[in-house]
Amino acid sequence: MATDIRAKLGLRPVINVSGTMTFLGASIVPPSVVEAVAAVLPQFVEIDHLQKLASKTIARLCGAEAGFVTASCSAGISVAVAGAMTGTDLLAIERLPDTTGLKNEVLIMTGHMVSYGAPVAQGIALTGAKVVPVGQSTQARRYQLESSITPQTAAAVYVVSHHAVQYGMIPLDEFCEICHAHGVPVIVDAASEYDLKGFIAQGADLALYSSHKFLGGPTGGIVAGRKDLVRAAYLQNGGIGRGMKVGKEGMVGTIAALEAWETRDHEGIRKLETSYLELWTRTLADRAGIRAEWEADPTHNPLDRLKVHVDPVGAHITAWDLASALASGPRPVIVRDHEIEHGFFYMDPCNLHPGEAEVVAARLVEELDKAARSNEVIATPLERRRNKRAEAAQTWPD
């Protein structure tokens, strides 16, 4: 492994078993992508022409008519929605977020109104669009979607994410069928999804991906789909999309990441990730108060995670205190803790460097042994942990 720059910068050498999370830097970028980015950085290029090259690669890999690279998948939501409202009307593009005279209602199921670090609804509303929730948080039905469509409906957004409600929602193919019957385009937010072709194949007019998650590219977003809608979204670079622009390195890096995706040994990577899960499962076996089970990804990405249940009485520590302990010290391990209040966390195997799985196993043993020696159960108030990040944000950069 190359010299770790984190020590020079004064950053903690975290080990990521949380997943492709933006707050941790998303993913490991493969050497071919690093080389492509480094090669273009000193050079001048014609950005529109580079985006045309990106469009060809995106179209081929995503089963789309066209595509382009933007700053992030979040930016993709905003420019895609904006394009659905303005089309190629340059004056309308310059006027946004003033939507006077435009269709400006955007539908989204209530169970899909999640936060990915910021609210999905905010990414829509930034354009001047009116967000129209469909159904309830745990149920959306055909009649609710149909009755929400009006002459002012510009588009519908469909979110594929582990954050979204995974039951009671309208399936994508049916969602597209209903919307298309009323002339409404469907935009799919598939930021952290492995399947690059399936959403368009199911009827999505635009599919949005992160360049920097499973693809392993630099920070960026991909907009792929119908050529007319891609063009309208791309033109937002002369409007609200200007602040969401991506550099030449992001475009070249995304092209390189897509090309690397074609030749990646996906099966070999799955076997390696499975070996990590097996190691951690053995490590936690017969541990008092610990129950570990494999759980498939909820949106059908081809990977499993280790779900670690923590009984405070047996383990002498709560799930959230164990997660915090793992994240401390000279070898911090960051777990996936979105549902920690239920007494469990996940361990994701998809972002490890060689040797790190063993470090994770050692850290589990270290912290569980420490807890076992405690005379009392280590149990800090959950609300303190829940509010810690928001409180820290209020004092940043101090």
Whether residue 170 is predicted with pLDDT greater than 70 in this model: the reply is yes
pTM of the model: 0.90
Rounded percentage of the chain residues whose pLDDT exceeds 90:
75
Q: Report CA 377 to chain centroid distance, whole Å.
A: 35
**Domains of the chain: which residue ranges?**
27-263, 266-394
Phi/psi of residue 136, each to 5°? -105, 175
Class of 266-394 in CATH: alpha beta
Is residue 192 within 8 Å of residue 27, measured between CB atoms?
Answer: no
Q: What is the pLDDT of residue 243?
A: 92
Angle, CA of 208, 226 and 129, to the nearest 5°: 60
- Listing DSSP states for 254-289 in one string gives HHHHHHHHHH--HHHHHHHHHHHHHHHHHHHTT-TT
Q: What is the mean pLDDT of residues 47-59?
A: 96
| Tally of CB atoms within 10 A around 339 | 12
Confidence of residue 153 (pLDDT cuts 50, 70, 90): very high
The amino acid at 133: P
Whether residue 1 is predicted with pLDDT greater than 60 in this model: the reply is no
Whether residue 336 is predicted with pLDDT greater than 80 in this model: the reply is yes
Q: What is the mean pLDDT of residues 87-101?
A: 97
Angle, CA of 152, 157 and 163, to the nearest 5°: 145
The two beta strands, 304-310 and 290-296, are antiparallel
Q: What is the pLDDT of residue 85?
A: 98
Is residue 160 within 8 Å of residue 190, measured between CB atoms?
Answer: yes
Q: What is the CATH number of domain 27-263?
A: 3.40.640.10
Over residues 311-335, the pLDDT tens digits come to 999 999 999 999 999 999 899 999 9
Q: What is the mean pLDDT of residues 141-149?
A: 97
Q: What is the pLDDT of residue 191?
A: 85
Q: What is the pLDDT of residue 116?
A: 84
Q: What is the pLDDT of residue 2?
A: 64
Q: What is the mean pLDDT of residues 63-74?
A: 95
Confidence of residue 233 (pLDDT cuts 50, 70, 90): very high
DSSP state of 136: B
Is residue 349 within 8 Å of residue 305, measured between CB atoms?
Answer: yes
Over residues 338-381, the pLDDT tens digits come to 889 999 999 999 999 999 999 999 999 999 999 999 989 999 98
Whether residue 189 is predicted with pLDDT greater than 90 in this model: the reply is yes
Summary mean pLDDT of the chain: 93
Whether residue 193 is predicted with pLDDT greater than 90 in this model: the reply is no
Whether residue 382 is predicted with pLDDT greater than 70 in this model: the reply is yes
Q: What is the mean pLDDT of residues 54-67?
A: 96
| C-alpha distance from residue 384 to each of 32, 106, 120, 389, 398 (Å) | 43, 37, 26, 10, 20
